[in-house]
Amino acid sequence: MKLLIKRFNNQKVWFDEFNVDFKEDETILELLDRINRKKRDIAYRSFCRSSICGTCTVKVNDKTVLACKAKVKDLIQNEELIIEPVDRSKVIRDLVVDHEYIEKSIKENRLWFEDEIRSDIENLQTPEELAKYDKQTDCIMCMACYFECEALDYKQAFAGPFIFTKYYRFVFDSRDKSDKQQRIELAKEHGLYDCINCQKCVMVCPKGITSAFDIKALQANDKNPPVQDFGFETNFF
């Protein structure tokens, strides 16, 4: 098969081309490792190799994937594979992009327990209480949803899908004693109502998290929703 890898070295952008064997069940990360054993100068990130650390997100044949999870056989098209850095990101080198946004946005959105959970007692929850937000705790902050999110093309202030999934995780956790409406007001300052419902976040999440629905759930729990301005008179009767 033909493999193209996008390169960047601070001065120029180019593609390296390889003719490589197609290996059944090989992941994108294993393929990159195989190439790098020969070439040795392609920069890409990986750590856990098991869909936990969230560092290895890349774009393959126009789809944002976790390199350690996605299989070559599921992405190859016409015997060709194009591996590029993800969209909507600052490229540092080759396939490595800046992840600073994660820490910055977690801080700006105060995504932690505001009132400390006491460490001297058990903070018990019922299975039903846990089930309300359990799925959202699977987020590994790989940012695949963010890199695909179309709202970011129109609204620079939009915090991104995974940030709202984090909001959901605290708003629906019974152990979090902070003022839920205050959390939602902060989410509104960061674009809670700017989602355009394109569903890209749902399609790409490697953990099966549905951020678009988390956003809707947060909106539904907003006690002070904004008045919708459609830009025309809606009172026809």
Classify residue 71 by its DSSP letter. Answer: B
CB of 66 vs ligand FES, minimal distance in Å: 5
From the list 66, 145, 171, 215, which residue makes contact with ligand FES (rule: CB under 6 A)?
A: 66
**DSSP SS3 for 91:** strand
Identify whether the C-beta of residue 97 lies closer than 8 Å to the C-beta of residue 89. Answer: yes
- Are the CB atoms for 25 and 11 separated by under 8 Å? no
Q: Which does 77 bind (CB under 5 to 8 A by kind): ligand SF4, ligand FES, none?
A: none
139 binds, among ligand SF4, ligand FES, none (CB under 5 to 8 A by kind): ligand SF4
Residue with tokens 């953990």: 207
* Cα gap 171→31, rounded to integer Å: 41
Q: How far apart are CA 168 and CA 159, in angstroms?
A: 13
Q: Show Cβ contacts of residue 158 under 8 Å, excluding neighbours closer than 6 positions.
A: 149, 151, 152, 190, 191, 194, 195
Which residue in 55, 105, 109, 165 binds ligand FES (CB under 6 A)?
55
Q: Which one of 49-57, 116-124, 175-183, 207-215 is the stretch in contact with ligand FES (CB under 6 A)?
A: 49-57
Comparing CB distances to ligand FES, the nearer of 86 and 184 is 86
Residue 207 binding result from ligand FES, ligand SF4, none, given CB thresholds of 5 to 8 Å by partner type:
ligand SF4
CA nearest to 23, candidates 15, 14, 32: 32
When asked if residue 56 is in the footprint of ligand FES (CB under 6 A), the reply is yes
The CA–CA distances, whole Å, from 215 to 86, 131, 172, 185, 222 equal 23, 18, 12, 13, 11
49 forms part of the interface with ligand FES (CB under 6 A): yes
Q: Which does 165 bind (CB under 5 to 8 A by kind): ligand SF4, ligand FES, none?
A: ligand SF4
CB 146 within 8 A of CB 66: no
Query: Is residue 187 within 8 Å of residue 109, measured between CB atoms?
Result: yes
Q: Which residue has the tokens 């937000």?
A: 133
To the nearest whole angstrom, how small is the minimum distance from the Cβ of residue 179 to ligand SF4?
A: 24
| Closer residue to ligand SF4 (CB): 3 or 168 | 168
Instruction: Report residue 57 as tokens.
Output: 């997100």
Of positions 4, 43, 53, 202, contacts ligand FES by CB under 6 A? 53
Residue 27 Cβ vs ligand FES, minimum distance, rounded to whole Å = 9
Q: Applying CB under 6 A, which of residues 2, 14, 22, 52 lies at the interface with ligand FES?
A: 52
Taking CB under 6 A as the criterion, the residue among 47, 98, 137, 177 binding ligand FES is: 47
Q: Contact positions toward ligand FES, by CB under 6 A? A: 46-49, 51-56, 66-68
